[in-house]
């Protein structure tokens, strides 16, 4: 009898939370509604949206943006061509990986892994990153009240498509922000650090200091 009641309670909880299995599409977008849960969520041509208090495992698309809204949770977030937004107090337990697109972490957001892209700006707005930041051609802004534990790595671009005339990536670390770990620059960058910001050691190509 006790086991039967436990099974009923589990089933009721799953329905109450709007739990679903994996969601996979090809040419359409996916939305996990507020408060719902899903497994792996993936599409090829389309965006992925996890609304407030929603939960998913991996969120992955090829051509499309990914938005993790306030207090929502995901394991890993990945897109090739598209931006990623991790909104207020949202959690990504793994990492965020983009090839061509910007990444924004809003106030109170937390990412436990790394944040990586090749082309596109990376912005932290009073957010927390337990891993590090890696980019090639993007500007990086560590906003006031933000914290990065794993440093910043700017890679040297290569390949036939690299435009050498492109302006230097700008790394801005604002007042009160903390960047632990190494700031590794494999190419020249512009670096602006507020007087009361905290940063780790700088290695590689000497940055061009700007106000």
For the chain (211 residues), the mean pLDDT of every run of 10, in chain order, is 36 45 96 97 98 98 98 98 98 98 98 98 98 97 98 87 71 98 98 98 96 87
Task: Tell me which residue has tokens 């609304």.
Answer: 51
**pLDDT score recorded for residue 105:** 98
Give me the domain span that covers residue 84.
2-209
Give how many domains the chain has, as a whole number.
1
Say if residues 113 and 92 touch (Cβ distance below 8 Å). Answer: yes
Q: Is 160 exposed, middle or buried (0-12, 13-18, 19+ CB in 10 A)?
A: exposed
DSSP 121-134: -EEESS-EESS-EE
> Rounded CA gap, 21 and 182, in Å?
40
Say if residues 83 and 64 touch (Cβ distance below 8 Å). Answer: no
**pLDDT score recorded for residue 158:** 79
**pLDDT score recorded for residue 172:** 98
**pLDDT score recorded for residue 192:** 98
Q: What is the pTM of this model?
A: 0.88
Say if residues 195 and 209 touch (Cβ distance below 8 Å). Answer: no
């Amino acid at each position: 009898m006790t086991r039967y009641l436990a099974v009923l309670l589990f089933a009721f909880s799953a329905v109450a939370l709007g739990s679903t299995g994996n969601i996979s599409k090809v040419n359409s977008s996916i939305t996990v509604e507020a408060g719902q849960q899903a497994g792996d969520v993936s599409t090829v041509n389309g965006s992925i949206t996890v609304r407030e208090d929603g939960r998913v495992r991996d969120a992955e698309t090829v051509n499309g943006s990914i938005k993790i809204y306030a207090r929502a949770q995901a394991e890993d977030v990945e897109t090739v061509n598209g931006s990623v937004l991790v909104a207020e107090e949202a959690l990504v337990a793994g990492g965020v990986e983009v090839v061509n697109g910007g990444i924004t972490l809003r106030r109170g957001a937390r990412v436990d892994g790394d944040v990586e892209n090749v082309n596109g700006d990376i912005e932290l707005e009073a957010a927390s990153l337990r891993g590090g930041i890696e980019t090639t051609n993007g500007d990086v802004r560590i906003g006031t009240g933000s914290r990065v534990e794993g440093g910043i790595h700017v890679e040297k671009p290569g390949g036939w498509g690299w435009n050498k005339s492109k302006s230097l990536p700008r790394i801005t670390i604002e007042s009160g922000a903390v960047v632990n770990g190494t700031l590794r620059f494999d190419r020249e960058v512009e670096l602006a650090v507020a007087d009361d910001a905290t940063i780790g050691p700088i290695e590689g190509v000497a940055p061009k200091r700007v106000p």
